[in-house]
């Protein structure tokens, strides 16, 4: 059968036969996924079986993988899938036509159809499986920029920065007290969002006034789960305690009393001295003459 006739048969079969199996699957960007297509009631002669995996497209359907007369055949496969789409030749006789896709891209999302045809008519569809594949991109594990340990003082303002990249949908960024899992909400938070093509990069900075030891981590919350950074444990150098007010007053009073006593003692010593009297010279001469 000629190539265009084969494709006509595929399209005809797809339009006239409802899918027996429908699956929904998720794949991760740059990851791998295996799309199911199994039929356990194959005729004895595998050489009479043709299989097509197709990706439905707005303009035309793309051939992703194919089996011609019981053997894997690459000549009909679209260029974008060559080297990335794989059928296991050893599983064909058992009716295993699962499609393995490697190095997934965002453009691989779509509707995949596995059609098993029985030759020589190529119009007898033995099985028709549809798989809805969605390729998602996950944010990277968040990384924190933190101050150097051992150099923090009581009351010091400290900045922590958390970065993550590569997601498709805007996440929620939270700062968590790792000791009890509570959210830190008493700091000044600044967030930066950057769109890089199809991807989103995020950065969050929190400023804290440190008055006690802290164990902090950053969490990126997405629809597919949470990503948590390594936690940072910080111990501060405590502020020297201030003297209590009563002690200060006591020291002041004690100082004043001390000054008063010293002054009093000095004054007493001055008053106890015996006064001296010197006779004027003229009076001495007068006494001598008398």
> 156-187, pLDDT tens digit by residue?
888 999 999 999 889 999 999 888 888 988 78
The separation between the first and the last C-alpha atoms of the chain, rounded to the nearest angstrom, is 174
Is 29 a residue whose pLDDT tops 50? yes
- Contact of 180 with 191, CB cutoff 8 Å: no
Is 80 a residue whose pLDDT tops 60? yes
pLDDT value for 239:
57
Cα gap 51→240, rounded to integer Å: 80
Task: Tell me the pLDDT band of 264, cut-offs 50, 70 and 90.
Answer: low
Residue in 202, 133, 139, 204 with CA at minimum distance from that of residue 168: 139
Residue range 79-86: mean pLDDT, rounded: 94
Instruction: Write out the two tokens for 74.
Output: 């690459």
Phi-psi region of 177 (alpha: psi -120 to 50; beta: other; left: phi over 0): beta
pLDDT value for 288:
46
Q: Using the 8-state DSSP alphabet, how is residue 256 labeled?
A: H
Q: Are β-strands 124-136 and 21-28 bridged in parallel, bridged antiparallel, or unpaired?
A: parallel
Among 133-137, 185-189, 241-245, the range of highest mean pLDDT: 133-137
Residue range 126-140: mean pLDDT, rounded: 91
pLDDT value for 176:
93
**Gyration radius (Cα) of the chain, Å:** 45
């Amino acid at each position: 059968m000629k190539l265009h006739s084969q494709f006509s048969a595929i399209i005809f079969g797809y339009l006239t036969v409802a899918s027996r199996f429908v699956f929904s699957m998720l794949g991760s960007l740059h990851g791998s996924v295996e799309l199911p297509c199994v039929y356990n009631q194959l005729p004895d002669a595998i050489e009479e079986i043709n299989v097509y995996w197709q990706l439905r497209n707005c303009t035309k359907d793309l051939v992703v993988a194919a089996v011609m007369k019981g053997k894997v055949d690459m000549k009909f496969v679209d260029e974008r899938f060559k080297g990335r789409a794989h059928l296991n030749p050893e599983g064909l006789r058992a009716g295993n036509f699962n499609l393995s896709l490697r190095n997934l891209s965002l453009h691989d999302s779509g509707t995949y159809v596995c059609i098993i045809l029985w030759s020589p008519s190529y119009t007898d569809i033995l099985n028709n499986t549809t798989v809805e594949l969605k390729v998602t991109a996950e944010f990277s594990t968040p990384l924190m920029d933190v101050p150097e340990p051992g150099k923090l003082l009581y009351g010091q303002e400290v900045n922590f920065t958390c970065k993550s990249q590569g997601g498709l949908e805007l996440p929620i960024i939270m700062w968590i007290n790792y000791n009890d899992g509570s959210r830190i909400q008493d700091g000044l938070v600044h967030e930066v969002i950057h769109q890089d093509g199809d991807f989103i990069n995020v950065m969050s900075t929190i400023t804290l006034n440190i008055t006690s030891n802290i164990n902090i981590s950053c969490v990126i919350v997405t629809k597919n789960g949470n990503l948590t950074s390594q936690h940072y444990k910080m111990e501060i150098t405590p502020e020297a305690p201030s003297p209590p007010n009563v002690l200060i007053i006591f020291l002041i009073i004690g100082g004043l009393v001390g000054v008063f006593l010293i002054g009093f003692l000095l004054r007493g010593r001055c008053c106890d001295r015996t006064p001296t009297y010197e006779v004027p010279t003229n009076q001495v001469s007068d006494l001598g003459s008398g």
